[in-house]
Amino acid sequence: MRTTGKAAIAAVAVLSIGLAGCGSDKSPGSSATAGASGNATTGASAGASGGAGDSGGTTGGGQGSAAQCLVGSWKADGLTGKLSGPVEGTFNGGGGALMTIDSGGKTQVNFDPMQPVTFAFKVSGNDVKGSFAYGGKVNANIKTPSSATGTLEPTGTVDFSSLTVTVDLTAPAAVRVADKMKITEFTGSGTADTGGAVDAQPVLKKSQYDCSGSTLKLSPPSGGPDTGTWTFRKA
């Protein structure tokens, strides 16, 4: 049963105070997921202005191209990663999300079938546990080299305008922090509530890809913040 009313508010307040004390000039998770709590909101807002929405279109222009092994329909096995910096922890789960890529780089990720990602970390000596799941569709054009491994990056603006997130805490109290909230409204203090596990730009951002086997892996670029690795299989 979820905590409601004053107890829930108190639990979130205690959590927020503890997280705020983790660093003087960085929000929790800033080193682990800088893309989530930093400039990701700008990307989401910029994508919203394009209006591609659920139509499968893309925004911002830019011709793309995708390696042959990327072309097709994919289903996520899930997301795995570690939190570092102000908090230490892990996150994993998120199977079920669907992605389609064509040879011209036109890409859509449908998060509606996604299963929750669970996260756990400690702050001020307290265990913080919970889960989150994205919803909505994200559209972009991507470009990659023709090889089975390399760098994947969007061309033009990624449309995150319909992306939402639902977040449930199970410890230190059971409370729903966000219920299908627009990602642009959640980032910042909301991201801190998950220790930085929620990425405001999931999947469709600059990343290292590997489709040399039967699966597709999208990992953070070398030297970039660790926002976790997504693993997909051909649907």
**Would you list the DSSP string of 158-216?**
EE-TT-EEEEEEEESS-EEEEEEEEHHHHTTHHHHHTTT-S-SS-SSSSEEEE-SSSEE
Cβ atoms of residues 32 and 196 within 8 Å? yes
Distance (Å, whole) CA 56 – CA 87: 37
Q: What burial letters (b/e) apply to 129-139, b meaning 16+ CB within 10 Å?
A: bbbbbbbbbbb
Distance (Å, whole) CA 100 – CA 235: 9
pLDDT band at 180 (very low <50, low <70, confident <90, very high): very high
Cβ atoms of residues 209 and 218 within 8 Å? yes
pLDDT average, residue stretch 132-160: 97
Domain that holds residue 95: 5-234
pLDDT average, residue stretch 141-157: 96
Distance (Å, whole) CA 80 – CA 172: 23
Please check the confidence at residue 53 and state whether its pLDDT lies above 80: no
pLDDT average, residue stretch 43-52: 38
pLDDT band at 9 (very low <50, low <70, confident <90, very high): very low
User: Would you say the pTM of this structure is higher than 0.75?
Assistant: yes
For residue range 55-93, list pLDDT tens digits in order: 344 444 556 799 999 999 999 999 999 997 778 899 999
Q: What is the pLDDT of residue 15?
A: 54
Locus of tokens 């996150």: 91
Locus of tokens 């669970």: 118
The total domain count for the chain is 1
